[in-house]
Amino acid sequence: MIDPSKVWTGHINEDAGTPIDTVARVGLYDSTLRDGEQTVGVNLGPSEKLDIARALDMLGVDRIEAGFPRVSDDDVKSYELIMDAGLDAEIWGFSRAVPADVEQLLDLGVRGAVIESPVSDGKLEAYGMSREKVLDRIVTAVKWATENDVTVCYFAVDSTRADLGFLAEVYRAAVEAGAQELAVVDTLGIASPEAAAFLVTETRRWVGPDIPIHWHGHNDFGLATAGSIAAVRAGATWVQGTVNGMGERAGNANLPEFALALEALYGVKTNMRFDRIQEVAELVRRVSGYELEPYKPLTGRNLFVRESGAVAAQFHDPPAVEPYSSEVVSAPRGIVLGKKSGLASIDIKARELGIEVPEERRASVLAAVKDLSVQKGGLVSDDEFTRLVAAVEI
């Protein structure tokens, strides 16, 4: 749990009544190794998946979806390596509601699995399946898995665009067939936070309060974190997502980002180790071969770095310029120099580098820094600053 003294959000959230008092803890279900790998161009081998699984375990993820073994022999090998790694997290499988997929999970010895099928009429039409056909597949697959002692979370693809009457029928049929948990799935990221809450509420009404509900959201409208929070407020006790929000199109819900918002703003606990997020995010980024925005929540390299002179003047007082302590995510704080720097920036950088800049020379050094930054079209490095200090006269 985050130390509340390191979160500096004031009282507005409490005044607005945002804390969630109906859920004590939310489970984190990570799909980086399956849904995350669907990011265009990402290809993770067995050793890389094992490294990521160990990192996710260290991060405090409760469940790790180890991939989709029917995709390739590499994914089968990944499952074997991860399941033999002695991790604390539960290792879950992924299966379509087809016999061959379920059989593969049973052969691997998986004890928990998501079993998916499409439920919206648009998806069914695209697959050439009737409602009756998909219902039969769901019931058959779920029964087979649960009769073989596999804990099943039934995963209704495109839930948010499904006919509600049919979706209720599907969820009830899955539970009657033995599914112990249900996932509400915003496959194309189209649900508003209000819609996410509505659908979770309806699902609980359809199947009762004792069936755990997962929310699985995508980020096509930039609402994945907000939708996940809304789902929890409506009673979801598991949220699915990925590290760095990786995934198809605009990606999945960013699981660490969601966990930070849930704990810091809503007071609900998770097992997330935020002090390890920098290294885990970097590992996933590096082996996946993509870059992260420098302003990305939690992991962006600019989050605790300041160029603005107005902000530098307050830099000695972190709560004045940051919503939570850099210590929460084990990130460094710092000042950089550029066109937007001020006199306080010169003082801070000089102290950092052990350089003496007399007060009467600060304005001239600042002017030189700004000029060089404009010429370069970028920041002034520490070495360049050192040379400027030596060269600038009053």
Q: What is the CATH number of the domain that holds 175?
A: 3.20.20.70
- Residues 229 and 107 reside in one and the same domain: yes
Mean pLDDT, the chain, as a whole number?
A: 95
What is the Cα–Cα distance from 43 to 136, expressed in whole angstroms?
34
- Residues 164 and 22 reside in one and the same domain: yes
For residue 88, being part of any structural domain is answered with yes
Could you tell me if 61 and 91 are in contact, meaning their C-beta atoms sit under 8 angstroms apart?
A: no
Q: Which of 228, 257, 288 is the last residue of a domain?
A: 288
What is the Cα–Cα distance from 362 to 210, expressed in whole angstroms?
66
Confidence of residue 393 (pLDDT cuts 50, 70, 90): low
Could you tell me if 31 and 65 are in contact, meaning their C-beta atoms sit under 8 angstroms apart?
A: yes
Q: Which of 240, 255, 288 is the last residue of a domain?
A: 288
Could you tell me if 143 and 177 are in contact, meaning their C-beta atoms sit under 8 angstroms apart?
A: yes
- Residues 89 and 235 reside in one and the same domain: yes
Pick from 213, 335, 265: nearest CA to 12: 265
What is the Cα–Cα distance from 207 to 176, expressed in whole angstroms?
10
Distance of CA 102 to the CA centre of its chain: 27
Farthest CA pair distance, the chain: 84
For residue 295, being part of any structural domain is answered with no
Q: Is the pLDDT of residue 394 over 60?
A: no
- Residues 248 and 310 reside in one and the same domain: no
For residue 296, being part of any structural domain is answered with no
30-59 tens-digit pLDDT: 999 999 999 999 999 999 999 999 999 999
Give the SS3 label for residue 185.
Answer: strand
- Residues 233 and 319 reside in one and the same domain: no
- Residue 152, phi then psi, degrees to nearest 5: -115, 130
2 residue type, one letter: I
For residue 330, being part of any structural domain is answered with yes
Which tokens sit at 333?
A: 């704080």
For residue 131, being part of any structural domain is answered with yes
For residue 173, being part of any structural domain is answered with yes
- pLDDT (0 to 100) of residue 28: 98
Domain count of the fold of the chain = 2
- Residues 263 and 321 reside in one and the same domain: no
Confidence of residue 24 (pLDDT cuts 50, 70, 90): confident
For residue 293, being part of any structural domain is answered with no
Residue reference for tokens 């010429």: 375
- Residues 217 and 137 reside in one and the same domain: yes
Domain that includes residue 161, residue range? 4-288
286-304 tens-digit pLDDT: 999 999 999 999 999 999 9
- Residues 367 and 218 reside in one and the same domain: no
- Residues 270 and 310 reside in one and the same domain: no
135-157 tens-digit pLDDT: 999 999 999 999 999 999 999 99
- Residues 324 and 374 reside in one and the same domain: yes
- Residues 284 and 319 reside in one and the same domain: no
- Residues 385 and 274 reside in one and the same domain: no
Q: Which of 237, 263, 288 is the last residue of a domain?
A: 288
